[in-house]
Copies of this chain bind each other. A is one copy, B any other.
Amino acid sequence: MAGVMSAPERIWTAALIVIGDEILSGRTQDKNVAQIAAWLNVQGIRLREVRVVADESDAIVEAVNTLRARNDYLFTTGGIGPTHDDITVDAIAMALGVDVEIHPQAREMLQGYYETRGGLTDARLRMARVPAGSDLIENRMSGAPGIRHGNIFIMAGVPHITAGMLDMLTGTLEGGRPVLSAQIGCWVAESEIADLLAATERAHENCQIGSYPFFREGKTGANFVIRSTDPASLELCVAELSSRLEEGGWPVVTGGI
């Protein structure tokens, strides 16, 4: 067995619920999965599962209660605006068995934001509603804050607003070591080197190798992503995979093709 052995380490996991009919209808291309996944990696937290659910209370409640129980963290995106189809706060409160209340600090934030924008109407005040016992996540992009309740993080649906909320949370969540990754590429059909990949992965027990084929410029190729939380193991695995591929007659492109 090659590879540096390390003590088994605690793996921190998160789940994400994307809430919104617009994703399920195909109208909107989701960008929050990739964005939140990449951010979580840097915090040392692994995104383990994602569900996309409709703007329906039952569907949200089911997903929240299943996923929060089996992950360290649960994120949701979408459904926290002022309109009738924004039911995320109510559904999460129902899942938690707590009341919905106006958060005084959120009301203040919204009052400030809307002071020069026509004032705080009832519809806008909806965005200050939180499951009882919540803290706020500051939103520097627009008026309505995100919400934290225990291990649940309720984020906006609009990706750049979510990005700002993630910035506010950076470094505040306990995690393990970040997952490191390296990529190499080859002009080879992955079916030609399937055994080579499997053998290399078996020889490096704290690394995973993913194989991602493509067809470009009339040729078949594949990129290989090697992942590990240990930098030395990662380096060894990349080196061995590269030399096995080169020995097989497939020149390796560092960084991928």
Docked Cα-Cα span, A53 to B25, in Å, equals 20
A201–B52 touching, CB < 8 Å: no
From B50, B59, B85, B194, contact of A24 by CB (8 A): B50
Please determine whether B28 and A30 come into contact, CB atoms closer than 8 angstroms.
Answer: no
B198 touches A84 (CB 8 A): yes
Per the 8 Å Cβ criterion, residues 48-107 of A in contact with B are 48-55, 59, 81-85
Q: Does A126 belong to the interface (CB within 8 Å)? A: yes
Q: Which of A149-176 contact B (CB under 8 A)?
A: 158
Q: Give A14-28 as 1s and 0s: 1 = Cβ < 8 Å from B's Cβ atoms.
A: 000010011111111
Bound Cα distance A34, B33 (Å): 13
A83 to B81, CA, bound (A): 44
Asked if A25 contacts B211 (CB within 8 A), the reply is no
- Verify B28–A41 contact, CB threshold 8 A: no
With most chain B CB atoms within 10 A of its CB, the pick from A25, A53, A211 is A25
Interface size for chain A: under 10, 10 to 19, 20 to 34, or 35 or more residues? 35 or more
Task: Report B-chain residues with C-beta under 8 Å of the C-beta of A111.
Answer: none
Least distance between A43 CB and chain B CB atoms (Å): 12
In the complex, chain B residues whose CB is within 8 Å of the CB of A81 = 190-191, 211, 213
How far in angstroms is the closest Cβ of chain B from A119?
10
- Which of chain A's residues 110-154 have a Cβ closer than 8 Å to chain B? 114, 117-118, 121-124, 126-127, 142
**A29 interface residue, CB < 8 Å from B?**
yes
Whether A24 contacts B48 by the Cβ 8 Å rule is yes
A257 at the interface (CB under 8 A from B): no
Q: How far is the CA of A31 from the CA of B34 in the complex (A)?
A: 11
A73 shortest CB reach to chain B, Å: 14
B residues near A34, Cβ cutoff 8 Å: 23, 26, 28-30
Taking the complex as formed, is A179 at the interface, i.e. its CB lies under 8 A from any CB of chain B?
Answer: yes
Are B25 and A37 in touch, CB under 8 angstroms? Answer: yes
B35 touches A33 (CB 8 A): no
B49 with A82: CB separation less than 8 A: no
A252 within 8 A of partner (CB): no
Q: Are A26 and B35 in contact (CB under 8 A)?
A: yes
Q: Are B47 and A24 in contact, CB atoms less than 8 angstroms apart?
A: yes
User: Which chain B positions have C-beta within 8 A of A114?
Assistant: 191
The answer to whether B118 and A212 touch across the interface, beta carbons within 8 angstroms, is no
The reply to whether B158 and A214 contact each other, CB–CB distance below 8 Å, is yes
